Amino acid sequence: MEWGAGADTLEGGEGIDTLRGSIGDDILIVDSGPDQLQGDTGSDAFKLSKSNTASATILDFSATENDSIQIGLGNSAILLQASQFNAGAGVSTATTLAQRILYNTSTGALFYDADGSGTQFNPVQVAGLYNKAVLSATNIYLVL
């Protein structure tokens, strides 16, 4: 699904979708399925479900364009704190109770963990960043 040159909001449905924004600040929303997301130019927001069992692929994340990743489908976005983020080569599990978002810089895999290093929940891969972009806590929001 593609749209014009404005600030578009695109939402995938069930199954495998390809969502492509264009010029402007686009919002691309994953519903279910292994969707492919491309924001193109502008400050794009990629909105992902915490429980997406078939993770999305973000093709062109760019921190320099002020792109953001929003994890959760609620209405209230809270910027991730540095203590809630763990990134590095081979990272796929939390090392503290505070960590909620994990990013494997080698593969581009992005995980959500509901209880950090707790034992009640396992990390769920919510997306893969195709370009293995530089990512920090300042690019990610938890949406409640």
In the chain, the number of structural domains is 1
Give the per-residue pLDDT at 96. Answer: 98
Q: Is residue 4, in this structure, part of any structural domain at all?
A: no
Q: Is residue 41, in this structure, part of any structural domain at all?
A: yes
For the CA atoms of 88, 35, 22, 140, the dihedral, rounded to the nearest 10 degrees, stands at -40
Q: Is residue 66, in this structure, part of any structural domain at all?
A: yes
Q: Is residue 1, in this structure, part of any structural domain at all?
A: no
Q: Is residue 42, in this structure, part of any structural domain at all?
A: yes
CA–CA separation, 132 vs 110, rounded Å? 10
Q: Is residue 2, in this structure, part of any structural domain at all?
A: no
pLDDT in tens, the chain (144 residues): 555 567 889 988 888 899 999 888 999 998 777 899 999 999 999 999 877 666 899 999 999 999 999 998 788 999 999 999 999 999 999 999 999 999 999 999 999 999 999 999 999 999 999 999 999 999 999 998
Give the per-residue pLDDT at 52. Answer: 61
Domain range for 34 is 9-143
Q: Is residue 77, in this structure, part of any structural domain at all?
A: yes
CA–CA separation, 26 vs 19, rounded Å? 10
